[in-house]
A and B are shown apart, each in its own frame.
Chain A
């Protein structure tokens, strides 16, 4: 075959793929319409099949042509309303379409494929109904050998072309028009008699289409690339000129230009790789239909957000994991119709697929309204299968138990079906998604349904990473998605922080023990070491799935965007590596696979940290990040970092005293500053040429506190003595690493030194004339006193409770009335989430504002808080923000109450 022919046939394959891409969903839509034929839709499918038939005839792919021809006949009958597209009919058409696609993918050998069964089925369908149709139709079902003489082939090609032109003419952007509408519903009716064939078919038909070797790119993107390429050439010329002229002053502009063009070029090229996720979603209507038929269930699929775009490589890789999740939703989630009716649900279950952008990532959710996952049952199974000991099961929370579904070997299905239930899969799904840099989360409500949330990065090709040094000069890149935090341990603290538990090295990070992996040991560069290190250690706290550990490296280099390059086949079995990248100096750095290192080092599942503490330790979890500093070298103070807007290094001679107040000449203006000794009983600071100023905002303006010597910024437990050193401006004291640290309350200090600032504060809203009453639930003495103090100084009336149970008692006591609740999350007896749930459980509290003030501030915590009914979630402890939120919430709740009274 000549090269030209190959090219043309290649085009035919690409074009036919496009024709077939949506045929499945269109057939299903035709089936859904039943007797109310949507002739446009049928025409579209007809045209697609017809074009394939025409071109196949031209190339002499007689089997393709023959099969297409028979399909065309059936479609023609449907179009002429002589045949109702019942499931039995569409089934035959779908199977034929599958075979057609298979033949197109290997078109060179298509003539060897036997299509007689499909032809017979199609003819049976056509003739079965054709008995009621005019007999003319029967004549148009010739076998292809008889029908295709040379001239006729030619004719059909011409006809195909004409039809295509018509099709293109009516669609301004063919590629867009090929996509299904943004949200489509494909109800699927049960056809139990077809169950068996559907099951057979779902096994034989491969769900993943072959990776495409060419993609369509919008012309305007190509134009843009062209322009940018031109820009790049210009920039290069400039670069050469500058290099030749030896004029060093021009470098800045040239480098700036190259920089700009490069990033724009990168961005535009990434755009060419982005594809709508709908390309994957489009296969699911068929999957759901076939599966629910096979299982005797009724299911409808709703799809949202198929226009959301992801990198081509991700689109190709998520197909199988998503298919698995969707199949699971139907098989494990949705109940049979009779069970659903008994449970008071509609007999038709819904599986919803949703894709949306969230925080720079793409979220894909698979929700079903089925039976949900029973955590207790999961535990039972896990115990029965020896995955858990009964003790472990008892200690395990429901949330943790849910994660069991990702363990290999565990299945929730009562019996093994052909569809699922062998317990193979969810672990693979999770690993595959994590390999893509994504995460999976499960949420379930017993009897109501399950939602699986898959989060994926937009692209794989370029990722932000931290470059670290290990094993001498070797550099390695760690994807930022895996990094939680960086910890530096000084050599003198090492003995305390590094410990050994049964030979395994652990690190005490705040209140948890973190398993440690030394990167050089993991990479086999040196043997495990004994004893504490002689110099400071860098620990990178990394997370892969539910596993968190500390990676000890020799040094940190830089944080940069890296281009991921694959490693050669020889390194396929290096589990610790995810790929390679080329650094700025042209050297190769290897990219670490955090999950791979964990499995290489045989790290176990993490121990649940909640079991480590009892309720007596409540408050211990509360950690606060403190700026530790000394005023006079012998006296230490701390400021919560949340309040500090920034730290500035200033020269002492920029400080002035105007009208009895200190000011700092600063960024062309002045900043009012305080010395600690002005307001607090302490020794004055020694004279120094340079100082730090901690800038914070209070009373709607910025002010600064002079911080002569910064000791450290540390996360410390808030076990605060609120008695011994208490004075205005000092909220309490604590002993930290042998130092007595006094905690400075910047707002109180500012109020004490500049009372004039606070007079013009806006009055707090008072819904019924009196001051609003606030209930504060907080188990830590320190924070409780702080909160109460904050609100009292603002003119609120405050009642405090040591935990959620006391708060609930106060709240439900008819002698009390509260306008708002401020609560901690982690509390003994009744925690903040439960308190919020109880409050929202009663109608009279429906409008009661709830503000959570917590040190747990992960996205997940915030989401759970919102679900429990918390209006606002605050990180401990920013007074200004808290006050602003309180004022705002009170205002909306009182206006809501007013409208409530009116109606």
Chain B
């Protein structure tokens, strides 16, 4: 159905005079995009008085150009768009924003155009932007909003989200953050810290000092809290951290290691593993009334639990068959069903925010894969193969996975690195995600501006 529509539009644009056509641009995100849409992001216009105000405040020569660069970089990273070089632009930003001369933009092969204006008003940054369909010669969207000037990068992310949504029909994932573990030092004694950054690698902040080992941080649905594993005082336990206040607390009072934590979709519970006497089972703890419930009860290892977005089911990792496989059960622990049956070992299942897929790590014949399958285990698709990679985390719109990848090292540990990578659900558009240090265990936030 989708494919047919795509062809129809393509033909439509090719054979009709663009100016008289009624079909506006659409970007199909359900397949690998081999022809990214050529888009021109005109620098946002800033009048002279505002330029000076922003220069004083932000130490930026031209914040309008910088915001446009953020948008361009975002669009490019999606793999769906091809932002055109600014040197080729014929029209000045202010004039283009009023009324683009579409012939000028189609001359440089732009199919879509973003224009805008930034103003310094009442100590705030006010931005107004428009999205134009160059071939149809029409405005597709116009929006304005106001924020504190320090938020100028977020302005770029929000613009990208709006443009992405208008052109693909699905929500964006650009005004988001990644929490991850920053790694430094020799392989035998890595120093690990919790770190948080914007989705594009900017504004990195470190949330712990590296005095104790920390692993597997995950956001709550409102992105204010993080649950993670800390070896504080050499007692590996699941912790809760309030990002704003920095307050940390142990989750529950377990007489042994708790690990592999995640929030329930309503944010009210933490689900995790508790290991005792060589056996790991899955537990939940209600954060309000502190009630602990045992969800699995099996002498095998049960770990890596992840709720379905409606909270009714849990997928998890268990070796009850003899080897690591993926299972699904109801959230009360009943109706346990194995869903992975392919060759190899399966781990780290994570339920997609759209509810229809489970992402996983697979180990087969010495190679590691990131893949997805339907929640009944059918339709397994491997997206990427490598020497070592694991721990996928979904973008909030369920279109992109972020994970970490490690490289081989020699006997002295030379050659070792751990980096974050992202890949499209289609299996295309694999990209290194910039981080200040080596990095692992990424977890994607939900959209911040909702």
Do A and B interact?
Answer: no
Q: B: which residues have CB within 8 A of A?
A: none
